Amino acid sequence: MSSKPLPILPGATLGILGGGQLGRMFTIAARTMGYKVMVLDPDFASPAGKMADVHLQADYTDHGALRQLGAACAAVTTEFENVPAASLIELANHCRVSPGADAVAIAQDRSHEKSWLREHGFATAPFALVASEASLDAALTATGAPALLKVSRFGYDGKGQARVGTLEEARAAYREFGGQPCVLEGFVQLELEISVVLARSDAGECALFPVAENRHENGILDVSIVPARVPDALARQAREMARAVADKLGYVGVMAVEFFVAGGQLMINEIAPRPHNSGHYTLDACVTDQFEQQVRALCGLPLGDTRLLSPVAMVNILGDRWHDGGPHWDALLAHDNIKLHLYGKEAARPGRKMGHFNVLDADLPAALALAEKMRAAL
């Protein structure tokens, strides 16, 4: 285990690869704490770039931009797992980088991630690796049908996956994905999905946020309910498993572990090496939110208190709402216990995450009821 680094204090410049909403919320947290922020993102309209001190509009593999970022920043992090691991390695020659390239390389490839989890004894849904069309028959036999065929890389929010019930359907989906490496995942008797967001320091200290219960729609997170309505023993087990994953990875930074609950048992679905959509409730409901925690972990500061101050329901706001004169913000903002967060994206598209809102109430059922009412009212 590496020794604890000297802390990076306010006034320093922090860098982030990626300029979406997670980068924007990191930038806001860092600037609130007194840091300068440099964002590297190719999009001129990047939400994080608008909030940063400097926006480098360049590709993530641009060596000149990476050198500029590494020279200017005391430390660099990332907001998404598909950043090239080679870019993180290059940056590590110039400044502190968290999370490290090794952990990101595992999490950004489903084949590697599933294999790594199995090798380290973590339960997952049945799966088989698909390296070619010829391997589909054996894979489908191993997982059973129906199953989900998922591309190994660059799939998220339901993209890059297809439900298949027969070998013919699997072959058609595989061809549609361009014959790239995939994972075939068998179905389980899913009771619910939960997640744990945590932060881990260089010294191996770990701070875990409360367990979130998550509902998805069309493969995209719709609602998170905190605390998750699961037995205490299951919540404790989820937190212990998430910490074990971080420890095995030697992870430094904020990460999320998503779980399936099936037959009262936990199975790991995915690892996200970054703050997570299901952790957005922390912005209003915890002593320390996940983005301040990301700053603290990146800078080698003591990790913040993760106590839940209030039960909360978080609702994603997607671009589908921008029609028929909506969204109807007046209905939402009429409630004094609702906190609205919009991401500053210029174009609203169906399925695109445009913002979220948190409903806080001492009574969790009341928070959830109001969240669902406002979800419909928007």
Q: What is the DSSP letter of 367?
A: H
Radius of gyration for the alpha carbons in the chain, expressed in angstroms and rounded: 20
Per residue of the chain (378 residues), what is the pLDDT tens digit? 445 568 999 999 999 999 999 999 999 999 999 999 999 999 999 999 999 999 999 999 999 999 999 999 999 999 988 888 899 999 999 999 999 999 999 988 999 999 999 999 999 999 999 999 889 989 998 998 899 999 988 766 556 889 998 899 999 999 999 889 999 999 888 999 999 999 999 999 999 999 999 999 988 999 999 999 999 999 999 999 999 999 999 999 999 999 999 999 999 999 999 999 999 999 999 999 999 999 999 999 999 999 999 999 999 999 999 987 779 999 999 999 999 999 999 999 999 999 999 999 999 999 999 999 999 998
pTM reported for the whole predicted model: 0.94
- Give dist(CA 201, CA 197) in Å, integer: 14
- Give dist(CA 118, CA 89) in Å, integer: 26
Of the candidates 43, 74, 120, 93, which has an alpha carbon nearest to the alpha carbon of residue 295?
Answer: 74
Residue 62's alpha-carbon distances to 19, 72, 84, 157, in angstroms, are 15, 16, 11, 27
- Give dist(CA 189, CA 261) in Å, integer: 8
Is residue 349 a contact partner of residue 342, using CB atoms and an 8 Å limit?
Answer: no
Peptide bond into 99 cis (omega under 30): yes
Is residue 62 a contact partner of residue 42, using CB atoms and an 8 Å limit?
Answer: no
Residue 316's alpha-carbon distances to 192, 255, 323, 333, in angstroms, are 18, 19, 16, 16
Q: Residue holding tokens 């806001």?
A: 28
- Give dist(CA 31, CA 122) in Å, integer: 38
Q: Residue holding tokens 């980088």?
A: 97
Q: Are strands 127-130 and 182-186 parallel, antiparallel or unpaired?
A: antiparallel
- What's the confidence (pLDDT) of residue 326? 75
Give the number of other CB atoms < 10 A from CB of residue 6. Answer: 7
Q: Are strands 265-272 and 312-318 parallel, antiparallel or unpaired?
A: unpaired
Task: Please report the domains of the chain, with CATH numbers, ordered by start residue.
Answer: 13-97 (3.40.50.20), 126-186 (3.30.1490.20), 190-377 (3.30.470.20)
Q: What is the DSSP string of 273-292?
A: SS--GGGTTHHHHBSS-HHH
- What's the confidence (pLDDT) of residue 81? 84
- What's the confidence (pLDDT) of residue 82? 84
- What's the confidence (pLDDT) of residue 2? 46
